[in-house]
Structures are given as C-alpha cells and as structure tokens.
Amino acid sequence: MTEKNQLEAIRSGYAFDGASLELGAAVEDNTAKPDVQVRLPLSMMNRHGLIAGATGTGKTKTLQLMAEQLATNGVPVFMADIKGDLSGLAEPGESNDKVAARAKDVGQAWEGKGFDVEYLSLGGEGKGVPVRATVTSFGPTLLSKVLGLNVTQESSLGLIFHYADANGLALLDLKDLRAVITHLTSDEGKADLKNLGGLSSATAGVILRNLIAFADGGAEVFFGEPEFATSDLMRTGADGHGIITCLELPSVAEKPALFSTFLMWMLADLFQELPEAGDLDKPKLVFFFDEAHLLFDGSSKAFVDQIEQTVRLIRSKGVGVFFVTQTPKDVPSGVLGQLGNRVQHALRAFTPDDQKALTATVRTFPKSGYDLEELLTTLGTGEAIVTVLSETGAPTPVAWTRMLAPTSKMGPAAPETMDRIVSSSPLAPKYSEAIDRESAYEKLQGRLTPDTAGAGSDADAAQNTPAPEAPHAPAKKEKDDPGLVSQVVHSSAFKSFMRSAGTQIGREITRSLFGTARRR
C-alpha cells in the first residue's frame, strides 16, 4: 500500500458517526494533513488501550489530551501522577510559539482551559486527600507483592488471612497483621498455628520480619481507616463534565512496588463493587495505569493471570483501562491482547535489546503502507503511530499521527492551586483524619473483655460502634450464616477460578482481587 492509499484509508477508517476523542492529524511525507483527523470512538474506550513510547516522546501529553476530552464528554478519569506533571490539568494552558505552531499544523482551534481535578495522595504523603486501604481489603496477594514474598510465603500469608477471617480478627492496619503473626508464632498461639496446616513457624517469622521492615520504611500510613471508596472516582461536576482524579505520587516515587500495587487494588475494588453495565455509549470511568511495567515486574504467573482476568471482565462494568509504559513488551501478552486502542510514540534502538523490542512492537500492529520499524525510530516528539477500534469493533488503519496539544497547563500546577483544591475538596472531611478503632491488635492485646474477644459471639456485634466507612470489619456470624470464608469457597467466582487454577495460591488471589472482604 502506498502512502497516498494509506492516507485515504485513514480518512475513511476514522470517519466515525458517534462521539470521539480527537487525537490529531494524519501525516504524509512528514507533513500533517489537517483534513484527515485521527479519532478514538468514545464508545470503544472501555475496550482498553496502551500508550507507549520512550522517555520524552510525548506519552504524558497524550494522556493529558485524552483526559481533557474524556472529562469534557462527561467521563470521570483516574490517573497516577508519577512526576507531578499532570497536576497542571487544573489550570488553563498558556499559548506560546510552539503551541500555536502545533495547533495551526494539525488544524486545532486551541484555547487554554482548566478542568475539574481532585488530588489524592497515598496516606497523605504529599499534596492530596489521603487514600488508605485496610489490610483485609488489600489482601494477601497484593500485600505479598509489595513485601517481596515468594510463592510459598505468599501462600502462607494467605493462611494467616484465613485465620484472621475465621476468628473475627479485623486486619485494618499493619499492626493488626503483625499482632496476628506474632500470636501465631508465640507459645500461646502454637495450637492455632498447628491447626492451620501448611504454615511453618519459620515462614511466619520471615513474613513478620518483612512486614516490620515494610512498616519501618514508612508504609504504615498507607493502611488503615477510613478506607477509600473507589466509587468516589466516578464523579461528575455541576456542569456534567467528568472529574479528573490525580493520585499524586512524587513523594512516594521511591516505593514503586507499593504505588503500582495500590493502583491494582483500586482497579480490583472497582471490579468488585460495580454492577454489570453491558455496552455503553461512553464508559463510566477511564483508568490510566502509568508506569505499568512496575506492576508486572517480578510477578508470579498466577498474579499476572488474575490481572488478565480482571482487565478482561471489568470492561463489561463500564471501565476502560489504559496502560502507560515504554514498550508493549512491558505488558504480558495475555493483557496486551486485550488492549484494542494503541498510541505508540517513538522507540529507541540503541542496543540489541532495544532492537528486539522494536521488532516485537512492529509485529503487534496490523499491516500498513508504512515501514514501521524505521518510522518508529524517527517519529518526532508529539507524534505517534495509532490504531484503535472502530465503532463496529474492527481495528482501524494504522495512522502516523501528529497529536493535538493539550489545552490545560503542560506542567505542575501552582502549589497554591493544589492547596486550594485539596482544602475545598468534598472528600477531605471524609478521609483526612485517620481512624484507629478496635481490631485484631486490641483483641490480641487483651484490651477487650473475654466475651467480646470471641470470634462470632453475640457481643462481637455490640463492640464499639464502628466508624463510618469501615467496610471490611468482620460481620456477626449468625447460626445459619456459613461465614465469610465459607461463602467465598462456595461462590461461583471462586469455583470458576479454582477449576482453572486448583491451588491454594489461586484461592488467595481470588480472595484478594474478587473481594472475599467485600465492602458491606
């Protein structure tokens, strides 16, 4: 196919009838063609996507551009702001020669505009409303990832969670989990440890040491109550525009395993909480998963399989997931195969490994009239190779695209802007103050009466009134209630996964990502 034919194929292939995101103008002979626009159908945003490219090629600006248009179309957006660059979405952009030249080149009527932004921060570390999760909700699989446990230790941690669930020991923060492990490895808890089966005192000791080091490294503030309700990501403003939620991460950038796994917890929690939605004209939420390679680095096959299953199924609940990373090879093939929308910025080929990654990337694109192996190494900043799913679900022609310029500030927001937004946030009263109510630590320290310390007793329901948004505390067990663990074991989701996995690890992954500690 010649470049002329390619251009005509792009013109017809991206002429959609419904609402779309405007990505940019097609390029021919290194010249943008403003009359040939490259778009992404809004109705296909829940079919997931990939934004990839080497450092400095324009990935962040593409993410910003897409977030702006999603919000304008009434779609809430969540994104992780690793470097702080995306906080500028709240402020109007300022025109300059570079912006004006790009807008003229691609046929864009550019006007600076700010958007409704909500800033979050992990545990209040940095600017933003604090985000926390209870240890029970986070689950053994995700916690094993951030603790760096091996497969055997992960399975053992799952048994510890099982013990806590069965004995009414709410794991709200890290000290609760430490207390449970300490109890199991003590003389008093020897019988309980033996009854668990498959959990050695040596392995429990390793987990405890890793947990102590993790907490001493400052992770204690990320776990506890009030736990963040992921439904708060799905809000619109008074004007009907979607609210863009930025999880500000510069202050925890040295904890990549923690923040990437926290993002997976948020996605898994959304999956658990949202009802089936079917095909929608536009998604309920688009979730941008930045630095995606961090999630998969060092992950077990079972862990990756569960991520794949979550991504596959969450689209039916109206959530689109876009992974943002350097090369497609950073994303496992089972997940990559589900990413129907692709924006590939320039790649580098300085080393043999780079060349292999380039060749592998080219093979993931449909056939086109371009020499992609050459083109991908010569793309300019703010240019990309694009292919998306059409309104009928078929892949569009591969399009060399010069991207539009974002209309919001391309850089960090002013500190006073962020302070004003955080202080006036409707979420601040709900999440700002940490709560430390009675849970596993207090029970095992003997701070409650013997009657209330018993798991499943009538007094259990009458213990201190739980604070608002305490979703994961164990509920009272009625006589005919099989209990939380039993319910999960007999659930269809558990049985389905166990048929395919058939292992203890599979059981714990299901607990973590499909919500055995489901919000009540």
377 residue type, one letter: T
pLDDT at 2: 63
Amino acid residing at 84: G
Q: Give dist(CA 388, CA 40) in Å, integer.
A: 6
CA 345 to chain centre: 22
Strands 399-403 and 20-28: antiparallel
pLDDT in tens, 285-336: 999 998 888 888 877 787 888 889 999 999 999 999 999 999 998 999 999 9
Q: What is the sign of the dihedral through the CA atoms of 478, 480, 485 and 490?
A: negative
> What is d(CA 354, CA 343) in angstroms, rounded to the nearest whole number?
19
List, in order of start, the domains of the chain with CATH numbers. Answer: 3-131+225-428 (3.40.50.300), 135-171+174-222+436-469+475-514 (no CATH)
Instruction: Give the side-chain half-sphere CA count within 13 A for 410.
Output: 18
Long-range pairs for 328-331: beta carbons < 8 A, 24 or more residues apart: 328/50, 328/52, 328/360, 328/361, 328/364, 329/357, 329/360, 329/361, 330/52, 330/292, 330/293, 330/296, 331/50, 331/292, 331/293, 331/296
CB count in 10 Å sphere of residue 432: 14
Which residues in the chain show pLDDT less than 70? 1-4, 447-520
Cα distances (Å, whole numbers) of residue 311 to 37, 133, 134, 157, 448: 29, 21, 23, 25, 42
- The string of pLDDT tens digits covering residues 384-435 is 999 999 999 999 999 999 999 999 999 999 999 999 999 999 999 999 999 9
Q: What pLDDT is stored for residue 3 in this prediction? A: 64
Q: How far is CA 507 from CA 44, 156, 475, 483, 510, in A?
A: 33, 12, 21, 16, 5
Token pair 């296909």: residue = 44
Name the amino acid, one letter, at 321. V
Residue with the two structure tokens 């991520």: 307
Both tokens of residue 169? 């020991």
What pLDDT is attached to residue 474? Answer: 40
pLDDT, residue 1, reads 58
Three-state secondary-structure class, residue 450: helix
DSSP state of 314: H
> CB–CB of 515/269 below 8 Å?
yes
Q: For residues 105 and 402, what is the distance between their CA atoms, to the nearest angstrom?
A: 9
Buried b (16+ CB within 10 A) or exposed e, 56-90: ebbbbbbbbbbbbbbbbbebbbbbbbbebbbbbbb
Residue 369 φ then ψ, to 5°: -85, 5
**Measured between alpha carbons, how far is 376 from 362 in angstroms, rounded to an integer?**
9
Beta bridge partners of 475: none
> What pLDDT does 304 receive?
87
Query: What HEC string does 391-408 produce?
Result: CCCCECCCEEEEECCCCE
Element (H, E) at 421: helix 415-423
Burial of 399 (0-12, 13-18, 19+ CB in 10 A): buried
Q: Reading across the β-sheet that carries 77-81, which strands appear in turn?
A: 31-41, 20-28, 399-403, 383-387, 341-344, 49-52, 319-325, 285-290, 77-81, 244-248, 117-122, 129-131
- The DSSP string of 324-369 is EES-GGGS-HHHHTT--EEEE-----SSHHHHHHHHHHHHTSPP-S
Predicted pLDDT of residue 498: 36
What is the reported pTM?
0.84
DSSP H or E run through 68: helix 59-72
